[in-house]
Amino acid sequence: MKTFALISLLALPAFANDASAPVAGKGLVPFNETYLCKGSRQLTVRYPAYVDAAREPIVLRWRQQNYALTRVQSASGARYVNRQLIWWTKGDKGFLTTRGGRMMARDCLAQ
């Protein structure tokens, strides 16, 4: 009887749900966010999974062009740059400027 109980206990994990299995969500998979900006301007950002955010670039789609931007240190919010553009977000808001400071899209709100 003890042998049966031991075998039963050893077999239980095979039938249990794997609690450590990843669940799909923003933390584990890349995701798109669409922003509506002042003047009815729209842009879309493809963000990497949060677990990869420090090393993977975002892809910002603006005026039918895709731009890869790398995350850089910021005092508040998240800032992404390339040689042409800066995309700055905090919470569900953001704005897009050129590296020279020209405002391209302001008051952007995640949809």
CATH number at residue 36: 2.40.128.200
Cα(32)–Cα(82) distance, integer angstroms: 19
8 sits in which H/E element: helix 2-15
Evaluate whether residue 40 is within a structural domain. yes
Q: Is 11 among the domain residues?
A: no
Residues in the chain, total: 111
Examine residue 8 and state whether it is found in any structural domain, yes or no.
no
Q: pTM of the entire structure?
A: 0.73
- Looking at the domain assignment, is residue 18 inside a domain? no
- Dmax (CA) for the chain in angstroms is 79
Is 36 within a domain? yes
Inside any domain, residue 30? yes
Domain membership of residue 104 as a residue range: 26-110
Q: Is residue 17 part of a domain?
A: no
Per-residue pLDDT tens digits for 50-106: 888 888 999 999 999 999 999 999 999 999 999 999 999 999 999 999 999 999 999
> 106: number of CA atoms within 13 Å, CB side?
3
N- to C-terminal Cα separation, the chain: 61
The Cα 39–Cα 80 span in angstroms is 22
Q: What is the pLDDT of residue 26?
A: 59
Residue 70: per-residue pLDDT: 97
Pair of tokens at residue 19 = 């609690």
What is the domain count for the chain? 1
